Amino acid sequence: MSAMRIGVLALQGAFREHIQALVRLGADAVEVRRPRDLDGLDGLIIPGGESTTIRLLMAEYGLDDAIRERIGSGFPVVGTCAGMIVLAKHVDDEASPGLNGLDVQVHRNAFGRQVDSFEEDIAIPALGDTLFHGVFIRAPIVESVGPGVEVLAKLPDGRIVAVRQGSVIGVSFHPELTDDDRFHRLFLSLIAARETTASTTPVCSSPTAVGEVR
């Protein structure tokens, strides 16, 4: 079986660390800078960085429409920190010009400036019982979620820092800046499960039956 081919948006931000984590897990990590780089990928990671810069560069290179179209067809995507902001439908009480991949309201720089960055061990049940060491750098929080969004993690004070909607995951922290690969393993396992389901779904000749397949 060939290695999973995972793209990492490499326009700006901490993309190299994500690539290193994926390589450690045996995935084929690909830097994504143009729409053609998305061809043949099993999933995509949008890293932390500066969300406004990332959005502008995606628009300039035509990546925003290409990624948005793939998200609409169920393409697996993870956004970390700024990546989650880019995926959110609403940012700081306004409709976002980003990818509209997560029906959430996000507040940027929720903890203050760079000097207010911090680390916190957080419970993420999807990763098991052991706490995950979260690195928060000028991090956003999720203030509210839509009906189709699952909350994956909260800080001890109740603020939401990780969500999932279908094949799209957003987190406030930087899992790539730790030696704990469980978050990247989770993403790869979700992709594997999705591909297994797709390969075993029967083809139905009845129009009504086809409409019922999800």
204 in active site: no
Of 54, 45, 53, residue with least CA distance to 23: 45
174 in active site: yes
Q: How many whole angstroms separate alpha carbon 103 and alpha carbon 164?
A: 10
Q: Where are the alpha helices (DSSP H) in the chain?
A: 15-24, 51-61, 63-72, 82-87, 182-200, 207-212
Q: How many whole angstroms separate alpha carbon 40 and alpha carbon 175?
A: 25
90 in active site: no
Of 120, 147, 142, residue with least CA distance to 131: 120
- Active-site choice (17, 18, 90, 176): 176
211 burial type by CB count under 10 A (0-12 exposed, 13-18 middle, 19+ buried): exposed
For helices 63-72 and 51-61, the axis angle rounded to 10 degrees is 90
**Size (the chain), residues:** 214
- Active-site choice (81, 90, 107, 184): 81
- Active-site choice (18, 90, 107, 174): 174
Q: Which of the residues are catalytic?
A: 81, 174, 176
